[in-house]
Amino acid sequence: MTDPTTVAVPGLRTVSVARTEDRYVITLDRPAARNAIDAAMIAELHTVCGVIESDPAPVVLAGAGEHFAGGADIGELRERGRDQALAGINRTLFDRFAALPLPTVAAVSGYALGGGAELSYACDIRIATETAVFGNPEPGLGILAAAGATYRLPALVGHSVAKQILLAGRTLDAAAALGCGLVMEVVPAGEHVAAAHRVVDRITASSPLALRLTKAIVDGTGRTEDIAQAVLFETADKHDRMTAFLEKRNRR
């Protein structure tokens, strides 16, 4: 991996994005607020997703400072009403992040709570430091974890543990997260980003097309007809038949 260079994306204030020849590095950058996910960060992450979708590569996602993301911005959530809930503001972004074409690795230290936990669940792989804590305390605030936890967490840790987290307020420390398969590896404090890069090093040794198709199929987003069409598009028969059609039409 070469040293990352900052990607010129205008207007970014709450996140930063850097690019090497084979990966992106995205950093949530509100350390004074424990990287709480506010409306500005949501909008900026949508912009970053657009950059990645146009030029796909694996992603390392981390938080600036001691914490990954301590949750959504409660001050903003308090003011949201029915229309904002129906718009699925955070869920729409996290679903988009989960659908990025190539693998994503969350490097988690400290708190990954509420919306921060849900953003980590949207990544394909998670690396944690010994300080990491995952949890979804939303019911204690009179709401539910509606940005992906209800359908991603059971798939990641099983229904029993998911219900302990979502209904009983259980938090998972690093050891528990490793034990239930939520994280791939636990490393000492400060080593999570380097560990995530080592995972991406292994990822980038594989075929990008094979990775892309594997992720789509595992996630259930690989449409059979699209894959079949991709095979047919590469055949000489398709080229010859379409050439004959166009030549016949041009002779009329």
Catalytic residues: 118, 138
How long, in residues, is the chain? 252
- C-alpha 18, offset from chain centre: 16
Query: Phi-psi category of 85—alpha, beta or left, where left has phi over 0 and alpha has psi -120 to 50?
Result: alpha
**Crossing angle of helices 89-98 and 39-54, rounded to 10°:** 30
Check: CB of residue 42 under 8 Å from CB of residue 90. yes
| 45 CB-contact burial (10 Å; exposed 0-12 / middle 13-18 / buried 19+) | buried
The 8-class DSSP code of residue 68 comes to S
Q: What DSSP string runs through 123-146?
A: SSEEEEETT-EEE--GGGGTS--T
Phi, psi of 6 (to 5 degrees): -65, 135
Check: CB of residue 107 under 8 Å from CB of residue 60. yes
